[in-house]
């Protein structure tokens, strides 16, 4: 009579496998950036989110924020004038969290490659923005659902919470596949 040997090895091998998988899953992904620090100044939140997404101060250097906050009367074709001391207070918050002042990891990333002598006045004109979007069809920014590069939250679904990671992006009107492949359906 032949007696089947119990699978003694199976249990330990399975345990090792499960442990290894759990360890891999727990390791922070090299790709994931994590969220920007929260904006803690209620004046900034109130005054800078009426017309568009509340942009993160860590995305531009101090010189850019000084230029933007010093010219609110002609703000990208809009009058966004603020009374003093509100304007000064909001400028100070942006400057103290700017990409070349803040120590946050996100700030360091947005500072890389920026020409501080000729600071951009748009986040969408920073080297990091360009690097991260240069493989996209430029037409994705001008569809009626998006409108312009400045409308980050049209694609970055968690941008309000300061999260821009790749796995939270969905380009409206496109089929978004892994590895950054986006297809415009013909139907
Ligand atoms: C009255 C409306 C209005 C208010 C209030 C306003 N903005 Fe804007 N802002 C705009 C418009 C319009 C644009 C251009 C958007 C576009 O290009 O599609 C813009 C663009 C920007 C951009 C450039 C975005 C990019 O990367 O292209 C920054 C930065 C910015 N605003 C910062 C601020 C800050 C800081 C405040 C608060 C002090 C503020 N805005 C308040 C209307 C406003
Ligand atoms: C038309 C849609 C669209 C708009 C609008 C858009 N993005 Fe993106 N963004 C993408 C896509 C798609 C990716 C991922 C590219 C890839 O696969 O590497 C991306 C990637 C990024 C990344 C890199 C994320 C990472 O983990 O590597 C950052 C940061 C980012 N975007 C910031 C912004 C900001 C800030 C704005 C607005 C000023 C903006 N984006 C506007 C589609 C958009």
Q: Is the pTM of this model over 0.85?
A: yes
Instruction: Write down the pLDDT at residue 175.
Output: 86
What mean pLDDT, rounded, does the chain reach? 87
Q: Is the beta carbon of 111 within 6 A of some atom in ligand 2? A: no
57, 150, 154: which to mutate for ligand 1, most atoms within 8 A of CB?
A: 150
- Residue whose CA is at the smallest distance from ligand 2 atom 3: 155
Q: What confidence tier does 180 reach under pLDDT thresholds 50, 70, 90?
A: confident
Selected residue with higher pLDDT from 102 and 179: 102
Q: Tell me what pLDDT residue 24 has.
A: 45
CA atoms within 13 A on the CB side of 132: 19
Per-residue pLDDT reduced to its tens digit, 9-68: 555 554 544 444 444 444 444 446 789 999 999 999 999 999 999 999 999 999 999 999
7/39 Cα distance (integer angstroms): 57
C-alpha 180/C-alpha 116 separation (Å) is 31
Answer yes or no: are the C-beta atoms of 89 and 45 closer than 8 Å: no
Residues above pLDDT 90, as percent of the chain = 73
- The full set of domain ranges for the chain reads 34-134, 136-187
Q: Are 26 and 72 in contact (CB under 8 A)?
A: no
Closest among 129, 125, 131, 69 to 97, alpha carbons compared:
69
Quote the pLDDT of residue 106. Answer: 96
Q: Looking at the predicted structure, is the pLDDT value of residue 114 above 70?
A: yes
The pLDDT value recorded for residue 93 is 98
Q: Residue 139's pLDDT is what? A: 93
Distance 52 CA to ligand 1 centre (A): 6
Given a cut of 60, is residue 147 above it in pLDDT?
yes
* 78 C-alpha to ligand 1 centroid (Å): 8
Q: How far apart are CA 118 and CA 170, in angstroms?
A: 32
Least confident of 20-24, 42-46, 126-130, 179-183: 20-24
- Decide whether any atom of ligand 1 lies within 6 Å of the 124 Cβ: yes
Mean predicted confidence (pLDDT) in 117-134: 97
Pocket test for ligand 1, best of 75, 99, 156 (most atoms within 8 A of CB): 75
Of 55, 179, 38, 71, the closest CA to residue 126 belongs to: 55
Ligand number nearest to the C-alpha of 151: 2
Q: What percent of the chain has a predicted confidence (pLDDT) above 70?
A: 82
- Assess whether the C-beta atom of 149 lies below 6 angstroms from ligand 2: yes
Ligand lying closest to the C-alpha of residue 74: 1
- Is residue 115 within 8 Å of 89, Cβ to Cβ? no
Ligand 1 pocket, residue 45 CB under 6 Å: no
Please tell me the predicted confidence (pLDDT) of residue 41. 98
Q: Which residues pair with 177 in a beta bridge?
A: 181
């Amino acid at each position: 009579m032949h007696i089947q040997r119990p699978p003694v090895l199976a249990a330990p091998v399975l345990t090792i496998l499960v442990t290894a998988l759990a360890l891999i899953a727990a390791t922070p992904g090299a790709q994931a950036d994590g969220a920007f620090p929260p904006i803690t100044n209620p004046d900034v939140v109130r005054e800078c989110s009426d017309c568009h997404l509340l942009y993160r101060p860590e995305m531009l250097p101090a010189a850019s924020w000084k230029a933007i906050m010093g010219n609110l009367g002609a703000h990208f074709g809009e009058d966004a004038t603020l009374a003093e001391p509100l304007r000064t207070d909001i400028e100070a918050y942006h400057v103290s969290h700017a990409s070349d002042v803040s120590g946050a990891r996100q700030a360091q990333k947005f500072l890389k490659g920026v020409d501080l002598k000729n600071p951009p006045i748009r986040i969408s004109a920073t080297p990091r923005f360009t690097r991260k979007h240069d493989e996209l069809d430029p037409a994705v920014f001008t569809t009626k659902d998006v409108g312009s590069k400045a409308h980050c939250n049209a694609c970055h679904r968690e941008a309000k919470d300061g999260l821009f990671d790749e796995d939270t992006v969905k380009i409206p009107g496109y089929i978004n596949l892994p590895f950054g492949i986006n297809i415009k359906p013909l139907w």
